[in-house]
Structure 1
Amino acid sequence: MNNQVIVVDDHPSVRLAVSALLRDEGYTIVAESDNGEDVLELVQRLKPSWLILDLGLPGLDGFGVIKQITDLRLPVSIIVLSSETARHVVIRCQEMGARGFVSKQDNMSELLNAISAVKSSGAYFAHLV
Protein backbone atom coordinates (compact mmCIF):
# COMPACT_ATOMS: atom_id res chain seq x y z
CA MET A 1 0.00 0.00 0.00
CA ASN A 2 1.50 3.32 -1.03
CA ASN A 3 1.40 6.41 1.13
CA GLN A 4 -0.23 8.66 -1.44
CA VAL A 5 -3.23 10.68 -0.28
CA ILE A 6 -5.89 12.95 -1.75
CA VAL A 7 -7.46 15.38 0.72
CA VAL A 8 -10.95 16.70 -0.08
CA ASP A 9 -12.57 19.40 2.03
CA ASP A 10 -14.23 22.68 1.12
CA HIS A 11 -12.40 24.54 3.91
CA PRO A 12 -8.80 25.51 2.98
CA SER A 13 -7.70 25.53 6.64
CA VAL A 14 -8.86 21.92 7.12
CA ARG A 15 -7.07 20.79 3.94
CA LEU A 16 -3.92 22.59 5.11
CA ALA A 17 -4.02 21.02 8.59
CA VAL A 18 -4.75 17.50 7.33
CA SER A 19 -2.08 17.72 4.65
CA ALA A 20 0.54 19.01 7.12
CA LEU A 21 -0.30 16.29 9.64
CA LEU A 22 -0.03 13.53 7.05
CA ARG A 23 3.16 14.92 5.48
CA ASP A 24 4.76 14.97 8.94
CA GLU A 25 3.95 11.24 9.18
CA GLY A 26 5.56 10.42 5.83
CA TYR A 27 2.51 10.51 3.57
CA THR A 28 2.61 12.16 0.15
CA ILE A 29 -0.28 14.50 -0.64
CA VAL A 30 -0.78 13.99 -4.38
CA ALA A 31 -3.80 16.29 -4.67
CA GLU A 32 -6.25 18.43 -2.76
CA SER A 33 -9.75 19.43 -3.80
CA ASP A 34 -12.53 21.60 -2.45
CA ASN A 35 -15.37 19.82 -4.27
CA GLY A 36 -16.70 16.37 -5.07
CA GLU A 37 -16.79 16.75 -8.84
CA ASP A 38 -12.99 16.58 -9.24
CA VAL A 39 -12.41 13.60 -6.97
CA LEU A 40 -13.32 10.72 -9.26
CA GLU A 41 -10.95 11.91 -11.99
CA LEU A 42 -8.18 12.55 -9.46
CA VAL A 43 -8.50 9.08 -7.92
CA GLN A 44 -8.53 7.39 -11.33
CA ARG A 45 -5.54 9.36 -12.60
CA LEU A 46 -3.35 9.48 -9.48
CA LYS A 47 -4.25 6.08 -7.93
CA PRO A 48 -3.70 7.04 -4.27
CA SER A 49 -4.10 4.55 -1.45
CA TRP A 50 -6.01 7.02 0.72
CA LEU A 51 -8.82 9.49 0.24
CA ILE A 52 -9.57 11.77 3.19
CA LEU A 53 -13.07 13.01 2.44
CA ASP A 54 -15.43 15.57 3.93
CA LEU A 55 -19.16 14.92 3.48
CA GLY A 56 -20.32 18.53 3.22
CA LEU A 57 -18.98 19.46 -0.19
CA PRO A 58 -20.52 21.82 -2.75
CA GLY A 59 -22.09 20.11 -5.75
CA LEU A 60 -21.42 16.39 -5.44
CA ASP A 61 -21.30 15.69 -1.71
CA GLY A 62 -19.15 13.12 0.07
CA PHE A 63 -21.85 10.44 -0.08
CA GLY A 64 -21.98 10.84 -3.87
CA VAL A 65 -18.19 10.54 -4.05
CA ILE A 66 -18.20 7.36 -1.95
CA LYS A 67 -20.93 5.88 -4.16
CA GLN A 68 -19.06 6.62 -7.39
CA ILE A 69 -15.78 5.22 -6.09
CA THR A 70 -17.33 2.04 -4.71
CA ASP A 71 -19.50 1.54 -7.82
CA LEU A 72 -16.33 1.66 -9.93
CA ARG A 73 -14.45 -0.47 -7.39
CA LEU A 74 -11.52 1.91 -7.35
CA PRO A 75 -8.77 0.65 -5.04
CA VAL A 76 -8.64 3.53 -2.57
CA SER A 77 -9.33 3.49 1.16
CA ILE A 78 -11.80 6.23 2.02
CA ILE A 79 -11.67 7.82 5.45
CA VAL A 80 -14.44 10.32 6.09
CA LEU A 81 -13.44 13.39 8.09
CA SER A 82 -16.64 15.23 8.93
CA SER A 83 -18.38 17.47 11.41
CA GLU A 84 -21.47 15.28 10.96
CA THR A 85 -21.26 12.73 13.77
CA ALA A 86 -24.81 11.42 14.07
CA ARG A 87 -24.81 7.63 14.34
CA HIS A 88 -26.92 7.19 11.20
CA VAL A 89 -24.41 9.27 9.20
CA VAL A 90 -21.48 7.14 10.38
CA ILE A 91 -23.40 3.94 9.62
CA ARG A 92 -24.31 5.21 6.15
CA CYS A 93 -20.64 5.96 5.42
CA GLN A 94 -19.69 2.46 6.53
CA GLU A 95 -22.45 0.80 4.52
CA MET A 96 -21.54 2.78 1.40
CA GLY A 97 -17.94 1.60 1.50
CA ALA A 98 -15.90 4.07 3.53
CA ARG A 99 -13.19 2.30 5.55
CA GLY A 100 -13.13 4.80 8.41
CA PHE A 101 -14.81 7.78 10.02
CA VAL A 102 -13.21 10.57 12.06
CA SER A 103 -15.04 13.54 13.55
CA LYS A 104 -13.63 17.01 13.04
CA GLN A 105 -14.31 17.51 16.77
CA ASP A 106 -11.73 14.79 17.56
CA ASN A 107 -8.06 15.55 18.00
CA MET A 108 -6.46 15.57 14.55
CA SER A 109 -4.20 12.71 15.63
CA GLU A 110 -7.34 10.55 15.52
CA LEU A 111 -6.98 10.60 11.74
CA LEU A 112 -3.62 8.86 12.11
CA ASN A 113 -5.23 6.28 14.40
CA ALA A 114 -7.89 5.70 11.76
CA ILE A 115 -5.33 5.13 9.00
CA SER A 116 -3.36 2.79 11.23
CA ALA A 117 -6.51 0.83 12.13
CA VAL A 118 -7.57 0.53 8.49
CA LYS A 119 -4.08 -0.77 7.62
CA SER A 120 -4.21 -3.41 10.36
CA SER A 121 -7.86 -4.39 10.70
CA GLY A 122 -9.53 -2.94 7.62
CA ALA A 123 -11.84 -0.44 9.31
CA TYR A 124 -12.12 2.36 11.89
CA PHE A 125 -15.52 3.44 13.16
CA ALA A 126 -14.91 4.51 16.77
CA HIS A 127 -18.09 6.62 16.73
CA LEU A 128 -20.18 3.45 16.47
CA VAL A 129 -18.85 1.99 19.70
Structure 2
Amino acid sequence: MGKRILIVDDAAFMRMMIKDILNKNGFEVVGEAQDGVQAVEKYNELQPDLVTMDITMPEMDGITALKQIKDSHSEAKVIMCSAMGQQAMVIDAIQAGAKDFIVKPFQAERVVEAISKALN
Protein backbone atom coordinates (compact mmCIF):
# COMPACT_ATOMS: atom_id res chain seq x y z
CA MET A 1 0.00 0.00 0.00
CA GLY A 2 1.25 3.48 -0.85
CA LYS A 3 2.15 5.95 1.85
CA ARG A 4 -0.53 8.53 2.70
CA ILE A 5 0.43 12.10 1.85
CA LEU A 6 -1.13 15.51 2.54
CA ILE A 7 -0.31 18.24 0.00
CA VAL A 8 -0.27 21.84 1.19
CA ASP A 9 0.13 24.71 -1.31
CA ASP A 10 -1.87 27.87 -1.94
CA ALA A 11 -1.58 27.35 -5.70
CA ALA A 12 -4.03 24.76 -7.07
CA PHE A 13 -1.73 24.21 -10.06
CA MET A 14 1.20 23.28 -7.79
CA ARG A 15 -1.00 20.88 -5.79
CA MET A 16 -2.10 19.28 -9.04
CA MET A 17 1.50 18.92 -10.26
CA ILE A 18 2.76 17.29 -7.08
CA LYS A 19 -0.34 15.09 -6.80
CA ASP A 20 0.29 13.83 -10.33
CA ILE A 21 3.93 12.98 -9.50
CA LEU A 22 2.89 11.19 -6.29
CA ASN A 23 0.06 9.20 -7.89
CA LYS A 24 2.35 8.02 -10.70
CA ASN A 25 4.86 6.79 -8.12
CA GLY A 26 2.51 4.76 -5.94
CA PHE A 27 1.79 7.28 -3.19
CA GLU A 28 -1.73 7.97 -1.97
CA VAL A 29 -2.76 11.62 -1.70
CA VAL A 30 -5.19 11.65 1.23
CA GLY A 31 -5.86 15.38 1.31
CA GLU A 32 -5.00 18.86 0.16
CA ALA A 33 -4.87 22.20 1.94
CA GLN A 34 -4.33 25.71 0.58
CA ASP A 35 -2.95 27.43 3.66
CA GLY A 36 -1.27 26.70 6.98
CA VAL A 37 -4.50 26.85 8.99
CA GLN A 38 -6.08 24.14 6.81
CA ALA A 39 -2.81 22.18 6.89
CA VAL A 40 -2.91 21.88 10.69
CA GLU A 41 -6.63 20.95 10.68
CA LYS A 42 -6.18 18.36 7.92
CA TYR A 43 -3.09 16.87 9.59
CA ASN A 44 -5.01 16.34 12.81
CA GLU A 45 -7.95 14.87 10.93
CA LEU A 46 -6.09 12.63 8.44
CA GLN A 47 -2.85 11.75 10.28
CA PRO A 48 -0.92 11.34 7.00
CA ASP A 49 2.46 9.59 6.77
CA LEU A 50 3.99 12.73 5.26
CA VAL A 51 3.15 16.34 4.36
CA THR A 52 4.50 18.41 1.48
CA MET A 53 4.27 22.00 2.73
CA ASP A 54 4.63 25.20 0.75
CA ILE A 55 6.55 27.87 2.68
CA THR A 56 4.79 31.02 1.49
CA MET A 57 0.99 30.96 1.91
CA PRO A 58 -1.80 33.27 3.08
CA GLU A 59 -3.45 32.96 6.54
CA MET A 60 -0.53 31.00 8.03
CA ASP A 61 2.81 30.31 6.38
CA GLY A 62 4.30 26.85 6.05
CA ILE A 63 6.91 27.27 8.79
CA THR A 64 4.31 28.32 11.37
CA ALA A 65 2.09 25.40 10.31
CA LEU A 66 5.08 23.04 10.52
CA LYS A 67 5.79 24.19 14.09
CA GLN A 68 2.15 23.74 15.13
CA ILE A 69 2.00 20.24 13.63
CA LYS A 70 5.31 19.24 15.25
CA ASP A 71 4.14 20.62 18.63
CA SER A 72 1.25 18.16 18.75
CA HIS A 73 2.77 15.38 16.59
CA SER A 74 6.53 15.19 17.15
CA GLU A 75 6.76 12.21 14.78
CA ALA A 76 5.27 14.20 11.87
CA LYS A 77 7.24 14.05 8.64
CA VAL A 78 7.11 17.28 6.65
CA ILE A 79 8.94 18.23 3.46
CA MET A 80 8.97 21.92 2.62
CA CYS A 81 8.40 23.21 -0.91
CA SER A 82 10.05 26.48 -1.80
CA ALA A 83 10.61 28.73 -4.75
CA MET A 84 14.16 29.68 -5.65
CA GLY A 85 15.62 32.35 -3.42
CA GLN A 86 13.97 31.20 -0.19
CA GLN A 87 17.10 29.60 1.28
CA ALA A 88 16.86 31.48 4.60
CA MET A 89 13.30 30.22 5.09
CA VAL A 90 14.35 26.70 4.18
CA ILE A 91 16.98 26.79 6.95
CA ASP A 92 14.29 27.99 9.41
CA ALA A 93 12.07 25.12 8.28
CA ILE A 94 14.79 22.49 8.74
CA GLN A 95 15.52 23.86 12.23
CA ALA A 96 11.79 23.69 12.99
CA GLY A 97 11.78 19.99 12.11
CA ALA A 98 11.25 19.67 8.37
CA LYS A 99 12.81 16.49 6.94
CA ASP A 100 13.84 17.96 3.59
CA PHE A 101 12.85 20.50 0.99
CA ILE A 102 12.05 20.45 -2.70
CA VAL A 103 12.37 23.43 -5.00
CA LYS A 104 9.75 24.62 -7.48
CA PRO A 105 9.29 23.97 -10.29
CA PHE A 106 9.08 20.37 -9.13
CA GLN A 107 11.27 17.71 -10.72
CA ALA A 108 9.58 14.33 -10.37
CA GLU A 109 12.78 12.41 -9.49
CA ARG A 110 13.71 14.88 -6.74
CA VAL A 111 10.18 14.84 -5.25
CA VAL A 112 10.11 11.04 -5.13
CA GLU A 113 13.66 10.87 -3.75
CA ALA A 114 12.93 13.37 -0.95
CA ILE A 115 9.67 11.66 0.04
CA SER A 116 11.13 8.15 -0.06
CA LYS A 117 14.09 9.26 2.05
CA ALA A 118 11.87 11.01 4.61
CA LEU A 119 9.60 7.98 4.97
CA ASN A 120 12.43 5.51 5.57
TM-score, length-scaled by structure 2: 0.90
User: What is the 5 A alignment of 1:85-104?
Assistant: 85-104=85-104
Instruction: Tell me, in whole angstroms, the C-alpha distance in 2 between the residues paired with 1:73 and 1:44.
Output: 9
Identity %: 27
Q: Secondary structure at the match of 1:37?
A: helix
Deviation at 1:85, TM superposition (A): 4.0
10-19 vs 70-79, greater mean Cα deviation: 70-79
Report how many aligned residue pairs link the two structures.
120
Shift in alpha-carbon separation, 1:100–1:85, aligned structure 2, 3 A: farther
**Coordinate RMSD, CA, aligned:** 1.8
Q: Which runs of 5+ in 2 are unaligned?
A: none
1:12-65 CA distance string (max 9 Å, x none): 111001001101111111111111111112111111001000011111110110
Deviation at 1:89, TM superposition (A): 2.0
Deviation at 1:84, TM superposition (A): 4.6
> Deviating runs (4+, > 6 A) in structure 1?
none
Contact 1:9 1:54 in 2 (8 A): yes
Counterpart in the other structure of 1:39: 39
98-107 vs 17-26, greater mean Cα deviation: 98-107
Q: Which runs of 5+ in 1 are unaligned?
A: 121-129
